[in-house]
Amino acid sequence: MSEPGSPSWSRQVAAFAVHPGFVEQLLAEHVDDGAGRCSSPTCTTSGGYSRARWPCGMSQLADAAVDLIRSRRRT
Ligand SMILES: [Zn+2]
């Protein structure tokens, strides 16, 4: 997973922003499970033994993509 703010991360955000429906799906799946972990079964650490901390990389990407989509609509 790329670091937030890096060029490759920005490219990933831009790629996500092309598909608003996909981004909405990500935001619906990657939510806090109430214990500070991502509720998506695809977000795991340590070889799949535990859920990733939330906000996970995917939710951060989706958040940034939503911001990008909204900023484009404003213009
Ligand atoms: Zn996640």
Helix axes 20-29 and 57-74, enclosed angle (nearest 10): 140
41 Cα to the center of ligand 1, angstroms: 8
Task: Report CA(75)–ligand 1 centroid distance (Å).
Answer: 30
Q: What is the pLDDT of residues 61-75, one digit of tens each?
A: 999 999 999 998 876
- The full DSSP string for 18-69 is T-HHHHHHHHHHS-B-SSSBB--TT-EEGGGTEEPBSS-HHHHHHHHHHHHH
pTM for the model stands at 0.85
Q: Is the pLDDT of residue 46 over 80?
A: no
pLDDT at 1 > cutoff 70: no
